[in-house]
Structure 1
C-alpha cells in the first residue's frame, strides 16, 4: 500500500458552466474561455499527464461530450477515466423538482455510455452542490462514489442520508449510506484561485502552487494513507505558465517515496 495517494482530477466543463451555471450563453467572450479549454487547455494537460505517465479522472458534463465529441474521446483514448458531472452544468440545488434533476443525471449517464461503452461509477456535482434529492438519486442510479463534499480533508468517508438541520434544534448526522465520498477542497481548486474577476484582479499564482505543495507535504507527514485531490479545469489550468507550474508540482510530489498517482475510482474501490 502506498503511503500517500494523489488524485489529479479535471472538470472538463467546456462551455457548459457559462451556459448552465453562470447564465452567460449570450457572452461570446466568456464562451471563448470555455473553447480555449476544449481546443488548447485539454490537449496541453493530456500531453503533461502523458509525460508523467499519470492516469487522471475527468468529470465531464454530457453537454461537453455531445458538443465536443472528438475532444472528449481524446481523453478516453489516452487512458484517463471519465466520470459523471451532470449532463448540463446545473447546480443541483437550483432544479425546480426531483424529476428535472433525475432527467439530467440520466442524460449524463447516457452520454458517457455512448462514448465509453460503460456506465460511470462516480459523480461530481456541478459547483459541488447537492439538492435534497441528489444522494437518493445517486443511490437509485447505482453510483458507488461521489467527489463533491468536504467532510474530511484527506480521507474518504461514507456520505450520510436522513440528516436533519433544523434551525431551532440540534443537528442530526443521519446514517451512513453506501456512497463513498472522496473529499474535495476549495483550497485545492484552480477555478476560485485563478479565474479572472475584474473585482478581484490577479492571484499570486506561484504562491497558490506553493500552497498546494505545502498541503500535500503536511498530509504526507501527518496522515496515514492520505488521499490528496486536486481539482483543475482546462480553461483555467491549461494556460502555458500554469502548465509549467503544474509540471513542477507533479515532479516535486513524485519525488516522495511511496506516493501513487491514481484515479478517484481506484481510491473508492480500496475503501
Structure 2
C-alpha cells in the first residue's frame, strides 16, 4: 500500500464572505459569525493541529489579512501555510471585467506577501467559482496550482485551457496547462453541511463525520498515493463539539500506516 496524504485545509474567511459573497455587510449578527471564527474558531483549530504536530494549509482572503493581522500572523507563526483566497471573497464569475478580477487577485497577493514575506504559490477561489478569465490570470500571475475544482476525487491533475462547451456541439476538453489542480469536494466541506440555514435547518453531524471517515477509508484502500482534502471554516468547525469530532477524525486517520499530513503546496510540487 502506497502512502496516503491528508491535506487539512482552512478557508479563513473572517467576515469577508458575509460582506462580499452574501451581501450581509449591514447584518451585525451574521458578521458576528465571522468574528467567532476569528476570535474563537481559529485558535481552537490551531490548538488541535498543534496537538498532532501537523502542518495545514490556510486559504486567507486579503481582507482577512488586513482586517485581522494578529489572527493571521498566529497561523503563520504556528508553521502553517498561507495561500490565496481572493482579496474580497468575491465569486470570480461575478466580476464585471477581467481588470477588476486581476486587481482583486493582485491585491490579495500583496496582502499575503506583506504578512509572510513570500508570494503565494496556490489559489483557492471564493465559493470554488471560476470566471472565463480566472485560469489565464493565474497563469499570468505565476501561480503553480489551484484547489477549487472537482475533476477527480483524490488525484491531482493538470488544469485545462481553451475548452469549449457549446450547447449544440460536442464538448471539447481543451489542452493541459502547467497548473496543477488539487481537487476539492462539496462532500468534504463543512460549510454546506453545517452552516445554519433557516430553510434547511441542521445536518446530522454524526453522519457527516462518519461520511468523511468512510471517504478516507475508501481512498486508503483503493487509491495508491491518494490525496484527501478536507475543507474547514473556523466559524463553522470551531465550535467545541465539532472540534472534538474533528479531533477523533484526525486521530483515526493518523493511526493508519503510511499516512502523511501535508500541505496542498507540497502535494502540487510532487506532481
Q: Distance in 2 between matches of 1:121 and 1:236?
A: 26
Q: Distance in 2 between matches of 1:130 and 1:2?
A: 33
RMSD after superposition: 0.7
Q: Distance in 2 between matches of 1:23 and 1:177?
A: 35
The equivalent residue for 2:155 is 155
CA contact (8 A) 1:2 1:260 kept: no
Give the 3-state SS of the residue equivalent to 1:5 in structure 2.
strand
Q: Distance in 2 between matches of 1:18 and 1:168?
A: 38
Shift in Å at residue 2 of structure 1? 5.4
Q: Distance in 2 between matches of 1:34 and 1:192?
A: 16
| C-alpha distance after superposition, 1:118-142 (max 9, x if no partner) | 0000000000000000000000000
Shift in Å at residue 206 of structure 1? 1.1
Give the 3-state SS of the residue equivalent to 1:64 in structure 2.
helix
The equivalent residue for 1:168 is 168
The equivalent residue for 1:51 is 51
Give the 3-state SS of the residue equivalent to 1:14 in structure 2.
coil
The equivalent residue for 1:70 is 70
CA contact (8 A) 2:2 2:224 kept: no
CA contact (8 A) 1:161 1:174 kept: yes
Q: Distance in 2 between matches of 1:206 and 1:190?
A: 13
Shift in Å at residue 3 of structure 1? 1.4
Shift in Å at residue 259 of structure 1? 0.2
Q: Distance in 2 between matches of 1:103 and 1:214?
A: 41
Give the 3-state SS of the residue equivalent to 2:83 in structure 1.
strand
Alignment of 1:79-158 (within 5 A): 79-158=79-158
Q: Structure 2: where are the runs of 5+ without partners? A: none
Q: Distance in 2 between matches of 1:65 and 1:205?
A: 30
Q: Distance in 2 between matches of 1:108 and 1:267?
A: 22
Give the 3-state SS of the residue equivalent to 1:105 in structure 2.
helix
The equivalent residue for 2:222 is 222
Q: Distance in 1 between matches of 2:2 and 2:264?
A: 15
Give the 3-state SS of the residue equivalent to 2:173 in structure 1.
coil
The equivalent residue for 2:201 is 201
1:234 and 2:265 are equivalent in the alignment: no
Q: Structure 1: where are the runs of 5+ without partners? A: none
Q: Distance in 1 between matches of 2:131 and 2:99?
A: 12
1:186 and 2:186 are equivalent in the alignment: yes
Task: Please report the TM-score for the alignment, with normalisation by the length of structure 2.
Answer: 0.99
CA contact (8 A) 2:85 2:123 kept: yes
Task: Please report the TM-score for the alignment, with normalisation by the length of structure 1.
Answer: 0.99
Give the 3-state SS of the residue equivalent to 1:131 in structure 2.
coil
The equivalent residue for 2:270 is 270
Give the 3-state SS of the residue equivalent to 2:260 in structure 1.
strand
Question: After the TM superposition, which parts of structure 1 deviate over 2 Å for at least 4 consecutive aligned residues?
Answer: none
The equivalent residue for 2:28 is 28
Give the 3-state SS of the residue equivalent to 1:160 in structure 2.
strand
